[in-house]
């Protein structure tokens, strides 16, 4: 880390680790089981090499693109992550303002410390998606979706990889519970309280019985397009196309659910192939550099979502810290885009990536 402060997302992570209480750090940083997938997510992007092309005019580089029709300043969105008030006093409001200033979409979690309508009222300029956990309580689902519609959210991200939480040992070791004074409105409406609850307890609100048929009914009745988050196989990607999804997000929940599943960088190609251009494909997990975003684009993703690095930014500097993380990723992306020989995200193609190392020659 430079004396002037954190620069890379890794610097922000190191600084956040010094600042956050043990329980919050473990909750944010941790994964399930042996954390095989948590580590693999980060490493997998480095197992691809970029294939830059020379003598391309990159005098003008425009990093902007769209995600489900919404303009974004570069192909990275904020992933839905729970409990931002554990990182900074203003919680998700700080994140929403940072995303608005960075020109990208914030995805508000069902497990946020503010409800969708309230966040929209407080940060009206921020473009936003709402992440929904379909809960066991129809009234809670209705009120969350109504809040998203009323708040002008452009899409719903339905997370389907968490019918129950993965076994996250760091939380067991630290005895993590939602601290006093921190409210998760969706959890409080379903359970009557959220202060002091464990991860197991707050995930108990999620309906573990949702099926593809149930999803098709939701999609049919939904006032907003629904992206499915948490897919890892070509089979499920095909089902998503057939059951009314408007987009898919290749994700293993940042290694927090089923440990030992494929790193998302390796799951992405089969999903892109199965979707075959019918829907936009997004990916998250282990994105730490602008070059990782380029690899994702070359493998066929429309854009990526970024989880933990934004939490590290929030912990280090609230709104400004989250903004600095996003700005850094955008600067890295812009530089590497030009060095790859592309003047826009649309110019990145399958020919710009290959497996790294000797395997490529095999």
Ligand X SMILES: Cc1cc2nc3c(=O)[nH]c(=O)nc-3n(C[C@H](O)[C@H](O)[C@H](O)COP(=O)(O)O)c2cc1C
92 binds ligand X (CB under 6 A): no
Instruction: Please identify, using beta-carbon distances, which residue of 244 and 286 lies nearer to ligand X.
Output: 286
What string marks each residue from 2 to 41 as x (binds ligand X by CB under 6 A) or -? -------------------------xx------------x
**What mask of x and - would describe binding to ligand X in positions 224 to 263, judged by CB under 6 A?**
-----x---------------------x-xx-x-------
Q: Which residues, 183 to 202, sit near ligand X by CB under 6 A?
A: none
Find how far residue 234's CA is from the centre of its chain.
Answer: 20
Shortest Cβ distance from residue 107 to ligand X (Å)? 7
Which residue, 85 or 253, is less far from ligand X as judged by CB?
A: 253
Pick between residue 287 and residue 348 the one whose CB is nearest to ligand X. 287
Q: Count CA atoms closer than 13 A to 54's CA, side-chain side.
A: 0
292 binds ligand X (CB under 6 A): no
41 or 222: CB nearest ligand X: 41
Binding track, positions 111-140, relative to ligand X; x by CB under 6 A: x-------------------x---------
Active-site residue, 84 included: no
Question: Measured at CB, which residue is nearest to ligand X?
Answer: 307
Query: With binding defined as CB under 6 A, does residue 75 bind ligand X?
Result: no
- DSSP track, 298-334: HTT-SEEEE-HHHHHHHHHHHHHHHHHHHHHHHHHHH
Residue span binding ligand X (CB under 6 A) among the ranges 178-186, 209-217, 283-291, 292-300? 283-291
End-to-end CA distance of the chain: 38
Stretch that binds ligand X, among 5-13, 145-153, 193-201, 301-309 (CB under 6 A): 301-309
Q: Give 63 or 109: the residue with its C-beta nearer to ligand X.
A: 109
Closest CA to 93 of 73, 113, 110: 113
CA dist 170 and 30 (Å) reads 6
Q: Does 286 bind ligand X (CB under 6 A)?
A: yes
Kindly tell me which residue out of 94, 287, 294, 298 binds ligand X, with binding defined by CB under 6 A: 287
Q: Half-sphere exposure (CA, 13 Å, Cβ side) for 291?
A: 16
What HEC string does 131-157 produce? EECCECCHHHHHHHHHHHHHCCCCEEE
Within 10 A of 217 (CB to CB), how many other CB atoms are there? Answer: 12
Query: Are the beta carbons of 306 and 79 closer than 8 angstroms?
Result: yes
Cα(186)–Cα(170) distance, integer angstroms: 24
DSSP 182-227: ---HHHHHHHS--TT--HHHHHTTB-TT--HHHHHHHHHH-SS-EE
Residues engaged in binding ligand X (CB under 6 A):
27-28, 41, 79-82, 109, 111, 131, 159, 229, 251, 253-254, 256, 284-287, 306-308
Where in the sequence numbering do the catalytic residues fall?
A: 253
């Amino acid at each position: 880390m430079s004396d002037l402060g954190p620069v890379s997302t890794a610097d922000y992570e190191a600084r956040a680790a010094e600042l956050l209480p043990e329980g919050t750090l473990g909750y944010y940083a941790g994964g399930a089981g042996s954390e095989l997938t948590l580590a693999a997510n980060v490493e997998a992007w480095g197992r691809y090499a970029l294939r830059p092309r020379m003598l391309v005019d990159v005098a003008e580089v425009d990093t902007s693109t769209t995600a489900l029709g919404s303009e974004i300043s570069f192909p990275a969105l904020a992933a839905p992550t729970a409990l931002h008030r554990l990182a900074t006093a203003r919680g998700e409001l700080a994140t929403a303002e940072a995303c608005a200033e960075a020109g990208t979409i914030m995805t508000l979690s069902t497990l946020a410390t503010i409800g969708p309508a309230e966040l929209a009222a407080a940060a009206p300029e921020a473009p936003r998606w709402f992440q929904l956990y379909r809960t066991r309580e129809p009234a809670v689902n209705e009120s969350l979706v109504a809040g998203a519609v009323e708040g002008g959210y452009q899409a719903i991200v339905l997370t389907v990889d968490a019918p129950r939480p993965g076994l996250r040992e760091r939380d067991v070791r630290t005895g993590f519970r939602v601290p006093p004074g921190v409210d998760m409105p969706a959890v409080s409406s379903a359970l009557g309280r959220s202060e002091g609850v464990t991860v197991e307890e707050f995930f108990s609100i999620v309906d573990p019985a949702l099926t593809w048929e149930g999803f098709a009914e939701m999609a049919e009745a939904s006032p907003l397009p629904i992206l499915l988050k948490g897919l890892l196989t070509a089979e499920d990607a095909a089902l998503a196309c057939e059951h009314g999804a408007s987009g898919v997000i290749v994700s293993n929940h940042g290694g927090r659910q089923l440990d030992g599943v494929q790193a998302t960088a390796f799951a992405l190609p089969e999903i892109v192939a199965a979707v075959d251009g019918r829907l936009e494909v997004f990916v998250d997990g282990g994105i730490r550099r602008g070059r990782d975003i380029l690899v994702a684009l070359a493998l066929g993703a429309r854009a990526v979502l970024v989880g933990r690095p934004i939490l590290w930014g929030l912990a280090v500097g609230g709104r400004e810290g989250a903004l600095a993380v996003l700005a850094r990723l955008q600067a890295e992306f812009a530089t590497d885009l030009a060095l790859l020989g592309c003047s826009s995200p649309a110019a990145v193609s399958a020919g710009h990536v290959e497996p790294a190392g000797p395997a490529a020659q095999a």
